[in-house]
Chain A
Amino acid sequence: DTGVSQDPRHKITKRGQNVTFRCDPISEHNRLYWYRQTLGQGPEFLTYFQNEAQLEKSRLLSDRFSAERPKGSFSTLEIQRTEQGDSAMYLCASSPTGTWVAGELFFGEGSRLTVL
């Protein structure tokens, strides 16, 4: 399968623990995005990379959140000292640059976080 891959699909953790999610984008896509979706809401933008450069961060991304894309391929999203309000689906998406279908995002299946 050559789609966007996310791991783990579901993570249950206790408040105060750290968690890390991984995203592998479609191989020829150099843009990678993280979104968060809570129940009954649309996804909310967190951050975006072009290759290894983190170009935009939402104010939703508090200092407990950090995202990396060290070699411009896969990305990780780490949440430190988790809180119950962090419970959500964390979605990763990728898109190509270039002139064709500019701006179309392809999403993964998401990583669901439950903080007890």
Chain B
Amino acid sequence: KQEVTQIPAALSVPEGENLVLNCSFTDSAIYNLQWFRQDPGKGLTSLLLIQSSQREQTSGRLNASLDKSSGRSTLYIAASQPGDSATYLCAVNLSGSQGNLIFGKGTKLSVKP
């Protein structure tokens, strides 16, 4: 059974710091991996999608990497801002099952001004 774990569960940093959020999964047979942002009481906003054949994706200050063999992904946020405060979720899409994303519990990020 695929399990997705995110570490740390919560993180508080001062504004301007670079930070790394971690995601690990137990079964390397994934179709893709997606990082989302969720603000309190809101839906999910897609940040980055990495296909299983890719190693990383970048969007602005965000960079996500994927190492399928070790079952790990990281989300790197450069020069963090208070507006980055949110819960960040990673989700894996299992090969052959394109509708079923398996989510981690998320990392709650707080960026202090």
Contact = CB atoms under 8 A, between A and B. Distances in A.
Interface of A: 4, 6, 31, 33, 35, 40-45, 47-48, 55-56, 58, 91, 93, 101-110, 112
B36 A101 contact: no
Give the interface SS of chain B, mostly helix, strand, loop or mixed.
Answer: strand
Contact of B103 (A31, A44, A48, A103): A44
Interface of B: 4, 31-32, 34, 36, 41-46, 49, 51, 89, 91, 93, 97-106
B32 A103 contact: yes
Most buried by B among A42, A104, A112: A42
B101 A45 contact: yes
Contacts, number: 66
A56 B43 contact: no
Contact of A103 (B49, B104, B106): B49
A103 B34 CA distance: 9
Contacts of A48: 98-100
Given A40-B105, A103-B49, A103-B51, 10 more contacts: A4-B43, A6-B43, A42-B106, A43-B89, A44-B103, A45-B101, A102-B32, A104-B34, A109-B43, A112-B41
Contacts of A31: 98-99
Q: Which 8 A-B pairs have the closest CB atoms?
A: A42-B103, A48-B99, A107-B44, A109-B43, A107-B43, A104-B49, A45-B100, A110-B43
B110 to A, nearest CB: 16
Contacts of B46: 104-107
Contacts of B36: 107
B16 to A, nearest CB: 29
Contact of B100 (A40, A56, A110): A56
A10 to B, nearest CB: 9
B7 to A, nearest CB: 14
Contacts of B91: 42-43
Contacts of A105: 34, 46, 101
A80 B26 CA distance: 35
